[in-house]
Amino acid sequence: MLETLLKQFNLSKEQINKLNQLRIEVIKYNKMINLTSIINEDEFNIKHILDSLSIVNYFQLENKKILDVGSGGGFPGLVLAIALPKTKITMLDSSNKKINFINQIKQKLNIENCLTISKRVEEIDINEKYDIVVARAVASLNILLEITSFAVKINGKLIFYKGSNLSDEMPKNWNFTLNELGLKLDKIEKFYLTKNIQRSFISFDKIKKTKSKYPRLYSTIKNNPLY
């Protein structure tokens, strides 16, 4: 039962109902748009809803302006918008179909604290606009850093959802990459979502302006990443 699973977050009955409805709508629309491969209720509640919410155990998100890059079916953006009504969340995805779905859900569930953008993040002018940028199941770390760092305010934060294999994505030396992007490694949080599912967060602080040549075109980033 979702209410029991999310007890630690002190959500209201209305918030729990909206999260349940979100699951129902995602699975319904999944027959028309490929939003998720997870359609079992219990698995969905753990791997999408609980996973999306786990960030609030490690980072302060209340009253922040957040960009969710690669929102897909609305995770973590829609979940966080429901759970954190005082936080303003912009959900960005390059798929018009997925953004249209998110817009329908916003209206149906009366979620007022979120906006949507249907573009690639590196193609829009959002220099230093957000307090926090998050990304979940979007790309490898060497790509994520470049496509998101420019969007964060100085003294803001990048936070990436990762699995148990985070170490495989990390370089031996961060110096060049972090200096180019104006970042400093903040922390790595490793935890278990359930007894058998390990997750991690890696976060970076924005300490100076990202150099103006970043982000490059996505094809360039993919073919020639900073590390």
Range of the domain at 109: 2-223
Amino acid at 16: I
The predicted structure's pLDDT at residue 1? 83
Distance, CA of 190 to CA of 78 (rounded, Å): 23
The predicted structure's pLDDT at residue 33? 87
Q: For residues 28 and 104, is the Cβ–Cβ distance under 8 A?
A: no
Q: How many domains does the chain have?
A: 1
The predicted structure's pLDDT at residue 31? 86
Distance, CA of 192 to CA of 164 (rounded, Å): 9
Distance, CA of 223 to CA of 218 (rounded, Å): 9
Report the predicted TM-score, pTM, of the whole model to 2 decimal places: 0.96
Low-confidence ranges of the chain (pLDDT < 70): none
The predicted structure's pLDDT at residue 39? 86
Q: For residues 141 and 147, is the Cβ–Cβ distance under 8 A?
A: no
Q: Give the domain CATH number at 122.
A: 3.40.50.150
Assign residue 110 a region: left if phi > 0, alpha if psi is -120 to 50, beta otherwise?
left
